[in-house]
Structure 1
Amino acid sequence: MQALNKLVAIGSTVSLAVTLIAAGFAAATVPDWATVALSRAFSGCDQPLTPFTHDELTSMAVAGKHYTFDSNNADELNEAIAAANASAEADGRATVIGEASETRRLPADAISHLDDVYRVVSVAKPALAVIAVLCVAGLAHVAVRINRRALGRVLIAGGAFVLAAFAALGIWALVDFYGLFGVFHSLFFQAGTWTFSIDSLLITLYPTAFWMGMAGIWLAVTCGLSILAVLVGFTLGHKQHD
């Protein structure tokens, strides 16, 4: 029984760390508010000659987010892009002649990359949900079958590990964000499938500043929850000691 309890405690620590990381990712990608706010702030920031307004860029960015992380509904994405182009043409900001350009459309390679992301997310979502359930079950087991002090140690270990890992990643991002961005993509996608020209619509919608903002939200939420886990862990350990 002692060996089982130790194994559950270790598994709970690992699953807690993964769940804390997943919570930050979910906060950045599941609700629309992050995409809307970051798109309004940064979409088109590197392309002053883009024919699209901030509202049009935001509409397309949100549709692209839904396509990539939620529904993979091509109709919604195509309709948002078509509406933005029609509006730009009607106002004289763009002409029909350049409508097929990658500065105003998402070509096949861009859609293919979004599909690649969707496939990764489709596998990750249920896997992370299962890990979260196992985390809760494991923490409950530690609290009931062992004691609250052991639960505190698990919370401290899981939270501290994530804080240390994210601190290292944060320093890396400050020193070389492009390098970190490249390594992260190389873990999931083939080389050459996720790089696009600076004036392409995909990069116009989601420039580097946009992804830095997403990373900031992820970092803030995950670190906030990790700090909370550590504080609760210390509290439990202190009470048990008393």
Structure 2
Amino acid sequence: MGSNSILAGIGATVLAITLLVCGFAACCLPGTTAALAGAVSSGEDSPYTHEQLVELADVTRAFTVDSHRDAEAAAKELAASVVDAARAASAEGAPKAGEWSDAARRALDEGAAPLDAMEALAKVSDRYALDGAAVSHLEDCNALIVGSSSWLGMIGVAALIIAVLLGVQRQWAALAFMLRMGPALLVALLVVLGLWGLVDFNGLFAAFHSLFFVDGSWTFNYDSLLISMYPLDFWMGMGVVWLGVAVGLGLLCFAGGCVAAWRAQVQARQLAEQAAAATGKKGKKGKKSARK
């Protein structure tokens, strides 16, 4: 690879990161949340129905991962959705009406602003609404995701630029190294994390959160609204989606690397043939000079 070995090494590293980010991006899609919440958010231990939990999970996803021009307006929108669902779920004759206490119904004062109503409801129990700790954690997640998205996007662009540059320069061996080593690095990381998850998924989940959040700020009651929307099985499903997308794209890159490796072999053979032909011509010219 010569002088392009360093560039190929950098390219492999940023490609591995890009594949990982693409997997995470797939997890943030509305369809992913809807599908997983629809599969695992049963509502058995919740005062909300399964359908309401799925709808609230989608609204909460948007609050958590989407960029907001006005954070306060986004919080009000989230609170309004929770309060509307609470009023519907606690209404007389509703399927889960028996799960609602008189105190919870009193907290749903029709005249209260959504944020005030949700706060009052959460004080009765976090089964009914997102309390301040839950909203704060979601805001922390939003700041992390939105704040890092531009930097992660730049890493993806860097991977693309390096690949295009190596391709334009016909540095097929270097490009093959990048496209095959990047997925290999990703798989090595995923194997380690996968084994950890199989042995102790809760430990992996805790370690992942402790990298970005203060301890205690991301733990909630098992029957809280947040956990009812996103139970452990939801996050395990997210892990499968993340893994599937990242590895799938990695396989495509690896296939591209195999093509580049074949091009490198063809290129090397052509250069060798050209060198042999040039050597043969010099030999013939030498013989003719000797005869003269």
- Counterparts of 1:3-152 in structure 2, within 5 Å, are 3=3, 5-29=4-28, 31-44=29-42, 48-72=44-68, 73-90=74-91, 91=94, 92-93=97-98, 94-98=100-104, 100=121, 101-152=125-176
Q: Percent identity over the alignment?
A: 36
Measure the CA separation in 2 of the matches of 1:96 and 1:225. Answer: 52
Measure the CA separation in 1 of the matches of 2:259 and 2:170. Answer: 17
Measure the CA separation in 2 of the matches of 1:64 and 1:231. Answer: 38
Provide the aligned C-alpha RMSD in A: 1.6
Residues 63-120 of structure 1: CA deviation (Å, up to 9, x unaligned): 1111110045213211221121011111234345225221011111111111111111
* Change in 2 beyond 3 A, CA 1:49/1:132: closer
Structure 1 stretch displaced more, 218-227 or 35-44? 35-44
Query: Which residue of structure 1 aligns with residue 248 of structure 2?
Result: 224
Secondary structure in 1 aligned to 2:223? coil
- 1:189 corresponds to 2:195: no
Query: Which residue of structure 1 aligns with residue 184 of structure 2?
Result: 160
Query: Structure 1 stretches of 5 or more lacking a match?
Result: none
Q: Number of residue pairs matched?
A: 237
Measure the CA separation in 1 of the matches of 2:60 and 2:30. Answer: 11
Q: Could you tell me which amino acid in structure 2 is paired with residue 97 of structure 1?
A: A
Q: TM-score, normalised by structure 2?
A: 0.77
The structure number with the bigger radius of gyration is 2
Measure the CA separation in 2 of the matches of 1:20 and 1:199. Answer: 35
Q: Could you tell me which amino acid in structure 2 is paired with residue 84 of structure 1?
A: A
Q: Is the 8 A contact 1:43 1:205 kept in 2?
A: yes
Measure the CA separation in 1 of the matches of 2:225 and 2:42. Answer: 9
Runs (4+) off by over 3 Å: none
Measure the CA separation in 2 of the matches of 1:145 and 1:232. Answer: 16
Q: TM-score, normalised by structure 1?
A: 0.92
Residues 121-147 of structure 1: CA deviation (Å, up to 9, x unaligned): 122110111111111111111222351
Q: Is the 8 A contact 2:47 2:127 kept in 1?
A: no
